[in-house]
Amino acid sequence: MIPKVLDDISRAVLLREEVARYLEGSHGRESQARERIEGYLEELRTTQRPSMYRALKHPLYPILRKIERIPEHLDIVKKATRAGRVVYASNHKSHTDYLVELLVLDENDVRPPIIAAGINLFGGALGLLHRHVTGAIPIRRNTKDPAYLITLKAYVAELLRKHDLFFYPEGGRSYSGEIKSPKTGLIHAALQAHEPGLVVIPTAVAYDLVLEDHVLARQRVKRRQRPFRQELGEMVRYAVGYRTRGFVTFGKPIPVSHVDPDSRRDVLDLAHAIMGTVGRLYKVLPTAVVAASMRPSITRKELERRADALIETLRQMNANLGVSTGEQAVDEAAGPLEARNIIVAERGRFRVRDRNVLRYYARTLDHLLTSPGRTH
């Protein structure tokens, strides 16, 4: 039974060498240190019930029907999961990522991974859902408490003996639109599992339109952790009339057996290699191309010409193109961007209505361009 497995995981964590060393070095306060670790273990405990998770699609239908889920290279995932244990490492665009990416796996009969999510998503009913259905583990980001960090890494290492793991190396969502530098904590934890044949599957998620684009773009950088209910209210507001495609692209597995978990350089190099691959897998969509090609005021013909030039540059870089011509980009992106109040068409020209949101979408291509410039 799953609860027994989780009890076994908790016991195994307390027996791990790094946890034992921490307890021994607590200078006569071993009982207090053990109590802290056990408290964190209770916080991390989770239960995954795949059948109930599938049933969630029905109450979540009002949101999910707005996002057409399009997977790419699922054959890679199916082969890798048949061969052994896998860790999925994805960029992080939206709170909808948790739904879109996990449902893509479930709908295609891929065994469900445990997902690592920010602890701000674990309040109220949503927290109960994560703990008792989806099998998510809450992550305290930016904490420096050694007891917590040791417990988290040991827990993830033991978890990988029973489950696959899905996590976001960037930590939280990208508020600027760019793919962020990776954090190494969970990658290091996965390496500490020493699971034979373990591989990392780089995963890229991209949307024509991100549900909370206006919220993210307005803030630009994450200054503080806000209650999820507040963010949810904003997302509901911007969901009116919202429709998009969500591309989930899987890359070739990256073996990790050669990486020394005790070498900070090796772990950091692996993290950057993973995110570099994720960036190359990232689907280039018409909205991003138009956003990066816009001027404050521009004719359709000039916008198409600039978009053609950008697409050709990206083609030469072997980008994962979801658009082939400037004409197609403008045809497919102008309407949705205008409906989103990001641009406006008037008197034969396109004009910028919301500069911050337009730049948010333009920056999603920065990692693919050697000298990204601001075109508006």
| Cα-based distances in Å from 134 to 7, 235, 332 | 18, 21, 35
pLDDT higher than threshold 60 for residue 85: yes
Residue 136: phi and psi, rounded to 5, are -90, 145
Q: Roughly how many angstroms between the first and final C-alpha of the chain, as a whole number? A: 57
C-alpha closest to that of 279 among 184, 172, 363:
363
Please tell me the predicted confidence (pLDDT) of residue 26: 76
Region 83-87: mean pLDDT is: 96
Residue 104: phi and psi, rounded to 5, are -60, -40
Please tell me the predicted confidence (pLDDT) of residue 66: 87
Calpha distance 132→114 (Å, rounded):
12
Region 149-171: mean pLDDT is: 92
pLDDT in tens, 127-156: 556 665 566 888 888 788 899 999 999 999
Token pair, residue 309, equals 């030039």
Token pair, residue 225, equals 């952790």
Calpha distance 186→275 (Å, rounded):
14
Q: Which residue has the higher pLDDT, 35 or 278?
A: 278
Go through the domains of the chain in sequence order and give each one's CATH number: 54-280 (no CATH), 284-368 (1.10.10)
Question: Is the Cβ–Cβ distance between 91 and 278 less than 8 Å?
Answer: yes
C-beta neighbour count of 339 within 10 angstroms: 13
Range with the poorest average pLDDT among 115-119, 289-293, 296-300: 115-119
Please tell me the predicted confidence (pLDDT) of residue 349: 96
Please give the torsion angle defined by the CA atoms of residues 118, 120, 124 and 127, in that order, rounded to the nearest 10 degrees. Answer: 10
Cα 161 vs. chain centroid, distance in angstroms? 23
Question: Is the Cβ–Cβ distance between 332 and 284 less than 8 Å?
Answer: no
SS3 state of residue 45:
coil
When computed from its CA atoms, the radius of gyration of the chain, rounded to whole angstroms, is 22
Calpha distance 264→145 (Å, rounded):
19
Please tell me the predicted confidence (pLDDT) of residue 374: 42
Calpha distance 311→265 (Å, rounded):
35
The per-residue pLDDT of the chain, averaged, comes to: 86
